[in-house]
Structure 1
């Protein structure tokens, strides 16, 4: 057994457990055990369990992003300090000071990628399970010969086998389903990143390396899905599409209810709370701060004689 198989073995075991458990549940509800819809719903159940388990990681990610926002001004000072200096000594000093700042503040610029990275072994595990099922190969745990054959032969809408890929089939039905799913995967990923970049970043953060990383991810991740999606089995794409929808909804709720301080989303939340009269005491919306009038200086009335004297002096 190769090293990758050894790493994926426990992941595949858990995936098979969840798939078979949800498959048994949907079958008990009267769905056809061999139908593609039953297996797709089982994959959706797998996503819900996995993403629910990742919620603590997501909360840590939000907290880390908050800390990154707090250190953004200090990062800007370090960048300004070495601005225009391209010699090796300056680059090393800048890198050393940046890493020291991350260490002292407990921040990590790569924390936003952590949930995605943690899902990758599950993604490859599911890919491996589907690939084995395609060949009616018995799984490592709960996916016995009968279930493996059902999974491998399951078709969506009766025309699109879950193990088929866009590049590995001559069926136009499979290709239509694959293209629709690739478009949805790409769009959902782009919208999720766009929510962060356009609404949930404070002005200070937009001058930091974190903002540049988010801007890169805004275009890179959807492009990855668009290019690599043509080789994904439909079953794997259902997992990733459902996971993207979960992320998009989760991100929307976080931005709406726990926005980054100073961001456009935070201002919108303050405006909503103020409109409902629920803004906590001591807090004011930015609009109220801007339009607060300054007290006008009172001018003393000038008598006629004093006015004439003043005119004569001129």
Structure 2
């Protein structure tokens, strides 16, 4: 294994040594001590910055998996009970098409961990061979890259709460080292569990959290299995490796916290809190809420659901007879053009402005009064903005009066 991992071991040693040199340059103690502990923390941060694009891809894939859950469940219901090879093949093909449609795959969330595993094992082997490097008996090499015998001795002598970086629970009889190892294993398992729970508990739509959802079932299994796996294997890890893994988990927690708060998944609990925060900020500035802005945009684009009475189908001969003749509220009440602000003119109000189009000929895109949907939506938006601004000014004046 050392032969296979040698290039990575040299890279790990290079990063640790030069981070240590930088820490000494800014005033930390040279030789054994905290600078070598922080060099492992620096190695972790360096690796996480390098794999940042994979984290972004993981978040996008996770969001795509969440958004496709209703379609995936419908597909599973479609082929439920069909065990013949042809049905299974069609189900697999439709499922892969669904993954391509949403730009995701079920393995994207594993990429950051898989990429880190070789680095993790390389650090494990560097720390395991410190004694041989320090004594000059490392087979085939006198150093690991820039990690010379003298520096290896300094790393080996460095401690965390009295436990040496190269010691593990299984290779020492020192009780202090065993206690520190157990505490760090608990911290590693707890942070691993929480990083997985953040995605499934806070950043997933409520509709996807039922037990029939295979994604939820797999995530719950992973939330249980991964921390237990690390708890049992952690007794073999050196203190330095445990520092690396705890730091990596804390970094992941911070990344996820930022992402969930700034870019939550649609329909999730995190999105509700995000909208509440944004709407409160907008209200203080006299701006429309997110919902109002989205509704105005949808109305302007003609994609908003329309209210009022459903238009009944008309035969072709009756369409020809009615061509060019006003219909609906305009024809019955003789409504006059309005200014788009919703003022009632001749019996046609705000609802008629937005929902009752003239149907002469082939169905014009203009409303009564000659205004387009976009113009009506823009004027309504401007009117509401003015009302919010006046309301904010009144609240400000009232607050000032109360303070005075």
With the shorter chain as reference, the TM-score category is 0.7 to 0.9
State the partner residue of 1:174: 177
Which of 211, 223, 226 aligns to 2:228? It is: 223
1:111 is aligned to 108
The number of aligned residues is: 282
Deviation at 1:35, TM superposition (A): 2.4
Q: Quote the residue 1:311 is aligned against.
A: none
Give the 5 Å matches for 1:58-73: 58-73=55-70
Q: CA deviation at 1:270?
A: 0.4
> Corresponding residue for 2:384?
none
Match of 2:154 among 145, 150, 156: 150
Larger Rg: 2
Contact 2:60/2:104 (<8 A) preserved: no
Corresponding residue for 1:52? 49
Measure how far apart 1:106 and its partner are.
3.2
Is the CA contact 2:37–2:158 (under 8 Å) kept in the aligned structure 1? no
Q: Tell me, which stretches of 5 or more residues in structure 1 are unaligned? A: 285-314
What residue number does 2:266 align with?
261
| Equivalence for 1:185 | 188
Residues 109-148 of structure 1: per-residue CA shift (max 9 Å, x gap): 1111111111111100101111111333444311112112
Report how far residue 33 of structure 1 moved: 2.9
Superposed displacement of residue 6, structure 1: 4.7
Q: Does the 8 Å contact 1:152/1:162 carry over to 2?
A: yes
Tell me the CA shift for residue 91 of structure 1.
Answer: 3.9
How many Å separate the matches in 2 of 1:233 and 1:153?
13
Q: Structure 1 residue 87: deviation in Å?
A: 4.9
Matches of 1:149 and 1:93, distance apart in 2: 62
Secondary structure at the aligned position of 1:163 is classed as coil
- Asked if the contact 1:127/1:233 (under 8 Å) is kept, the reply is yes
Judge conservation of contact 1:31–1:38 (CA < 8 Å) in 2: yes
1:239 aligns with 2:238: no
1:139–1:93 CA distance, 2 compared to 1 (3 A): farther
1:247-297 deviation line (CA, Å, top 9, x unaligned): 11111111111110110000011011112226445248xxxxxxxxxxxxx
- SS of residue matched to 1:260: coil
Deviation at 1:104, TM superposition (A): 4.7
Q: Distance in 2 between matches of 1:79 and 1:36?
A: 58
Q: Distance in 1 between matches of 2:33 and 2:83?
A: 58
CA contact (8 A) 1:135 1:152 kept: no
**1:29 counterpart residue number:** 26
Normalising by the residue count of structure 1, what TM-score does the alignment of the two structures yield?
0.82
**2:129 is the counterpart of 1:132:** yes
Conserved? CA contact 1:133–1:149, under 8 Å: yes
> Would the alpha carbon gap of residues 135 and 81 (structure 1) be closer, same or farther in structure 2, given more than 3 Å must change?
same
The answer on whether the counterparts of 1:36 and 1:161 sit within 8 Å (CA) in structure 2 is no
Kept in 2: contact 1:161–1:174 (CA 8 A): yes
Paired position in structure 2 for 1:81? 78
- From 30, 40, 45, the equivalent of 1:43 is 40
Distance in 1 between residues matched to 2:186 and 2:231, nearest whole Å: 7
Structure of greater relative contact order (alpha carbons < 8 Å, 6+ residues apart)? 1
The residue that corresponds to 2:281 in the other structure is: 276
- The alpha-carbon distance between structure 1 residues 150 and 35, as it changes in their structure 2 partners (threshold 3 A), is closer
Tell me whether 39-48 or 205-214 shows the greater mean CA deviation. 205-214
Deviation of the 1:82 alpha carbon: 1.9
Change (3 A) 1:97 1:5: farther
What TM-score comes out, normalization by structure 2 length? 0.65
CA distance in 1, matches of 2:226, 2:33: 28
CA apart distance, 1:92: 4.2
Alpha-carbon contact 1:132-1:139 (below 8 Å) kept: no
The answer to whether the 8 Å contact 1:36/1:162 transfers is no
Query: Does the CA-based 8 Å contact 2:205-2:269 persist in structure 1?
Result: yes
The aligned counterpart of 2:357 is: none
